[in-house]
Structure 1
Amino acid sequence: MTDLVARITAEPIRPGELDSVVLSPANGAIVGFQGIVRDHDGGRGVSLLEYQAHPDAERFLLDCCRTVSDRTGLPVAAIHRVGSLVVGDLALLAVVAAPHRAEAFAACADLVELIKTDVPIWKRQHFADGVSEWVGL
């Protein structure tokens, strides 16, 4: 298994950029999750999201990857973006590889849920009507 990759970045995330981290001849499936900024939330138009991270957020992200990898024995990797993101931007990329698809899907879902609950990253939504609000505080 390769080293775990967990990164917080202000740079754009490219789909597929983590595939080579988890890929190995033993794995027949790579499952990835792409969290993309959408244009609405709760019936309101969204124009922009701002993500801010605690200075230790990358350590928390690494802990999430390690937890899922230790529990499943599978290679996992994740990148979360911070800063101002517009509709269509990729905010979170999480990938897991496994010999078979079912275990890869389950581990990837577990990884994303763990990231959402455990990594101290905060989101501020800017709505089309000019109002903004913090989410999940």
Structure 2
Amino acid sequence: MINIIVGTETGTAEFVADEVLELLTSNNIQACITLEPVLKQLIPSPLWIVITSTHGAGDIPHNLHQFTQSVTNSNSDLSSQKAMIIALGDSSYDTYCQAGISINDLFLSANMTMITPMLKVDAMDADMPEDIVIEWLIQYIPSISDLI
């Protein structure tokens, strides 16, 4: 099962995650959303899709603090773990998508494999974030299907 890990402060990332879940399930890909990820429970998953906003001064949302700390302190071998990062932000700030960048760097330092480049979604864009994400994600459905 694919794990969609959501980092949110205002609910936007959670709404995007709901749309991603719908896309995956409509393509016969089992997935679930988690707002309180626990590293040991996620490790068996073939893919983590992290959808996170950035808040404050480039901070990771509060609900992901314990998870990112677990990854940082992990003695687990995460080299076989695959992930995707979808970062939501506002380009009018100098910390644009910093939470996603920080999580991407953390995963790379844990030797995880990023199966796509990180997607940055700008709140200043005229399109809705979920529309941007779905349009981008559709091209990776075959690759995701191959993982399960």
Q: Given the two structures, how large is their TM-score scaled by the length of structure 1? A: 0.30
Higher RCO, Cα 8 Å, sep 6+: 1
Q: Given the two structures, how large is their TM-score scaled by the length of structure 2? A: 0.28
Please identify which structure carries the higher strand content: 1
